[in-house]
Structures are given as structure tokens and as C-alpha cells.
Structure 1
């Protein structure tokens, strides 16, 4: 397949083509858009979250127009809205569309597209690399490291939380009839967890720690259980999330963390809860104290695999890591996980349905963001449906 068909050419997806289009406008707070309007949820450097109306564009070479039927709100979406950046390379500098956990229905296909037709049900892989033979990362399959990747919802590229979305045909994944649009959208966070499981080299019967019972922690819990981890300890600061984890995987061992405990104390309590030191930690918070706690819970030769996103610079207990040969590894997004995620859902090995705790209409996206950002609302995964 030609590179221009397989990839998301940054020029094709230039965000200015939307922002400078005469049909682009920010909707008033009390304005009710028409049912056919291509509305979307956008954030900006002023930390506003609001609805906009943008053009419904025609699919070009290698593109597919998708009616987005379900989108989950990710923690990164909330972070871009409230903080305007993640690290030094992902900064909100203008109006930017949110959302990257989406699934929908093919409406129209562009020139050169033969594998899709109107009515097909698809999951949307939001990270689209250049796919050029000259790109070493794309060539070896680690396309998440492609320097020219277009990741929808990461500034400056607009996201998939919209009614009509243009996407490269090669980066859509067919959903079986038994997999719902909601489950299809959850393939994105599941892909994050599956990439972690794969790169962490979890083995059948490994004792595993999962730090954080948020959405990524919970999909990591489901994935680790499906991969045969035993025992599994999961930690969190909120009892309600641990209770949810226990219902999701009854055999898990929950541990409520008290803020005044030191990382060494937490590490000791983790080992006590498990009945042994752990071989692997899947750290899903990115918080320094949690990472330290995971390190102190490891056996000699253990591994702390960090999935969570944290502060730019952090301290590590260097000599404890060194003297105990504990490896620390990291993850950036994922590569080639969507097909696996869909198989696991369709085959019944991973049940994501309980994760969706709140549902909103597309017109209610702003309200949905506020619920997703408020821990007191008890949301695990907020879904926006159209």
C-alpha cells in the first residue's frame, strides 16, 4: 500500500484547515446544535472546554469518513484541558479537539479504499505513523516512536470526539458484530495495558502488583488476570475504586494506601498483602511515591514497569534498585495491539463492559468532562455516545 494511503500525512491533517475554515465556530454555552452539525469538544490554552461546530469534510485519497458512535474520556484529555500540556513536547497552543478512544460506523470512503464500505463497524486507532520505508521505527514495527506520527487529540491534531471524523483507511479495525461500539472505543486503553503486559514480559503465575485502580489500572488488572498472574495486589487511595476492582476480578488482593505511609512502609504492606515479594509491578499512576512503593515491594531481580504519566523529573532509590537488580522500564503509547484487543474482547477473555460507569450524549460532552475530572462523581470510564 502506498505510504500516502497508509499514513496520516501531517499536511492532510493540518489543524489549521479546520480552525481557519469558514464553518468553524465556538458554540455558545446555551446553544443547541442541529442533529446533523459536526460538533466536537475542544480545549484551549485558556483551559476552556467547550463545543465547537466544524466542517464535515469529504474523504480524500486513502481516507474514510466515520460517524463516531462512542468515545471515552481519557485522563490525558482532562489533563490537556486543565493543565494545557503533558511534558515539554505536548502543549496546547490553540483550539484543539479532544478524544482518542473511539469507535464508529463507516459513512463514506475515498479514492483507493477497497477494504471498507458504508455501514462497516470499526475501532479507530488514533496514533497514525508516517509508514514511510525511510522511517526506521515504522520499518521495525515500533511505530509509536515515529517522529512524524499524527496522534489525534494530542496538540496540534484535533481528536476523535466529534460526530464525523476523517481517518486513514489502514488505521481502522473491524469490529465483530458481538463487540459493541462502547467496547470498540475501550480498545484504546486496553491496547495501552496489553502493550505493558507484552513489554513487561509477564509470565503465567507471576506475582504482580498494580499501582492505581483508575481506568488504566483496571484494564491492566483484567489483562494481567487473563495472562495468568497470581497473586495480584492492587493499590489505590480510594476505597471505592478498590471495591470496584474486587468486583471486577474477585481474586484480586486490594490494599488501601494511607497518605502518611512512607514508600518503604507501603512496600512492606504490599508484600504482606501478597504473602510474598512481587516479581512485577505495573505502575499506572506515574506518581513518584507510588513508584517508590512499587520498587520496595519487589523481589530480587524484579521489574517495575511504568505505564502512568508523571512529572517531568523524579527521584529514584538508586542503590536499592542497584543492590536488588530491579529493572525499571517505561512505555510510550502502544504499537500493533488493536487486533489483539479486539480478539480478547470478542473471545470473552476480557470483559470491559463494567468499566463504563457514566454515559452522555455528544451534545453533553462538556458536562461529561466535568464528571470525568471530579473524583467525587465516582466515574471509572465516561463514555460519550452519538
Structure 2
């Protein structure tokens, strides 16, 4: 291992012991192996999946069976490198792409490494995440970021990547009419990306008035209250659901023009009833998304140029002793960042 300075033997990390119970523990600082880097974590965004693991101890088939460090939206600075990594990378600011695939399966070989069955993804059992002072990761999944990009923004390149991948699946571009359901962090970034792409209409639907106002500030050309307005009366090229709510999905599908696309981004019910006859007769393409692949270079450019404003999403900060506060649902908070 080559390091910039003496690396401590131990570090602090926030550990999910069981659903609803977090504990700050001392653990050994990991050492980077071949083709790995050691990163001093400066910022980690909190995500709905962190909330779900904290509250329920599971997401679908992913079950927390042993103490787990949450957090999969990290950024920091490289402080040491393992064998076969250029020592010149030490002191480099990086945003971490949190899922390292096997690189050998057919999905990896075709570029769809987000579908790799053997991916090791931060904070997905049994892999620990980044609510810690240090983490290691494969060197090519530590993406350099310019010095003028804030630590918070570097961390939020992960949810920006979710939004970019959703738009790739939706096939949106200049002149597109887009409907977004849900104005949480992902929905707001989906709206920002739509604006960057030159969408002519960006409609965002959310029942919370504060979130609707946030949508206006993040690129929406119009906002809808699904308790009073009827999203299905719109006529859009693409519908991106970032809510996971069945009523929102059904209303959004009804809004898609014949030949349009619908993309399920938000995690909701495991099963729902869909209007199959309408999907068939109107030739609507319906797909889901699972993480992302190859999005970081674009995300870095958008953040570095100011085309996408990630800092405006940050509504609070906590340290490792107060991670639980960040994982309690609060509509007034858009994105809380942990600073280890």
C-alpha cells in the first residue's frame, strides 16, 4: 500500500445493528488490495433505501442478517492506493460509483454491468456501505471530480446517475414532453436532466405543496397536485415514475401518447395491476430501471459545468452520531448529507 501519510488503524462508522437501531462503532480501517484505492469519506448522501433498511431491515429479497454499514452515495479523497494503482492518484478528489461488478458475466461483457448478478454494491447486504470514515473501492469506480465541485455535489452524482439512466431508458431529448411523478430527490433530478436535454414540457406531479414548489425550482414547467389535478389528461412522450405509488403509475401510463415510453424508477409495491390492453393497443413501451451503467462521466460534466445544480438539493447535514436523525422521514428535507 502507498499512502499520502500515516493511515490510522481504526475508524468510526455508523452500524445498523437491527431495524431501527444504529450504533457508532470502531472498526479497522480497510486496506486497499490490488487495483483498489482507500478513500477518506467527506460526504455521503442519504437515500430512500437507507431509510427502508433502517426502518424495516430489508428491501425485497435483500435482508439485513448481520450488522451493516449503510450509505451508498459517497465522495471523498484518495489517501492510499493498492498494488497496480498509480500513486499519482493519491490526494485526488473522487465520487464513488458504489457497485463493482464481476466483469466476467454476459451482462458485464455487453455493458449492462448494472444487471451483474454478482455485483458488490455498497450498503446492500452483506456489503457494508460508506457511513464511515474510510472505504476501499476498485480504482476505476473512483471517479475524479474537479476541485470546484463541492463534496456534497460529488456525493450526489450517484442519484444524478439514477436520473440520467432513467432518461436513457425513456429516450427523452430536445422537444420531449415529459411527465414526472414524485418530487423527491430523484424526481427533482429527473426534472433537472429533462431541462438540460431541452424538453419542451416538464410536468411534475406530487401531493405535497412544498415538493411541488421544489419542482418548479428544479426545472418543472408546470406542477400538478394529483389529489386535485388529473395527470392522465396530459399527453406526453415519456412518463417517469419516481414515486413507486400505484395510483401515480396508473395515471402516468394513461398520460403517455401512443408509441410513447413509461419508465418505473421509484421502488413501490412488489406487484400492481396494469392496463395491459391499453399498453398493447397504444404500443406503449414500459420498462423499469435498476441503478445505472456508464453514467458517471456525464454526471461529472453536468455538475462541473453547473448545468445541473446538486447543492440546491441539500437541506441538512449530520455527523456519524446523528445518522438516525437523517433517516427519519421528513417531507421538509429533500436530501440530508452525512459528513463522517
TM-score normalised by structure 2 residue count: 0.93
The answer to whether the aligner puts 1:67 opposite 2:40 as a matched pair is: yes
Q: Of residues 44, 53, 68 in structure 2, which corresponds to 1:80?
A: 53
Runs of 4+ in 1 over 4 A off after TM superposition: none
CA distance in 1, matches of 2:208, 2:14: 29
Q: Which residue of 1 aligns with 2:216?
A: 246
CA distance in 2, matches of 1:84, 1:289: 26
Q: Which residue of 1 aligns with 2:336?
A: 382
CA distance in 2, matches of 1:379, 1:53: 29
Q: Of residues 66, 77, 86 in structure 2, which corresponds to 1:94?
A: 66
SS at 1:166 equivalent: strand
1:56-205 paired onto structure 2 within 5 Å? 56-88=29-61, 90-114=62-86, 116-132=88-104, 135-205=105-175
Q: Of residues 280, 296, 320 in structure 1, which corresponds to 2:238?
A: 280
CA distance in 2, matches of 1:102, 1:68: 7
Whether the 8 Å contact between 1:40 and 1:52 is mirrored in structure 2 is yes
Q: Of residues 349, 352, 365 in structure 1, which corresponds to 2:307?
A: 349
CA RMSD of aligned residues (A): 1.7
The answer to whether the aligner puts 1:331 opposite 2:268 as a matched pair is: no
The Cα shift of 1:37 comes to 5.3
CA distance in 1, matches of 2:251, 2:66: 38
Whether the 8 Å contact between 2:99 and 2:121 is mirrored in structure 1 is yes
The Cα shift of 1:36 comes to 8.8
What does the per-residue CA deviation read over 1:80-119, in whole Å, with 9 as the maximum and x for residues that have no partner?
111222222x111111110000100111111111165321
Q: Which residue of 2 aligns with 1:235?
A: 205
The Cα shift of 1:182 comes to 0.9
The answer to whether the aligner puts 1:218 opposite 2:188 as a matched pair is: yes
The Cα shift of 1:42 comes to 2.2
Q: Which residue of 1 aligns with 2:15?
A: 42
CA distance in 2, matches of 1:97, 1:347: 33
> For structure 1, which runs of at least 5 residues remain unmatched after alignment?
1-34, 272-276
User: Higher strand proportion, which one?
Assistant: 2
SS at 1:38 equivalent: strand
What does the per-residue CA deviation read over 1:314-340, in whole Å, with 9 as the maximum and x for residues that have no partner?
110112222222221111110010111
Whether the 8 Å contact between 1:41 and 1:366 is mirrored in structure 2 is no
Q: Which residue of 1 aligns with 2:5?
A: none
TM-score normalised by structure 1 residue count: 0.83
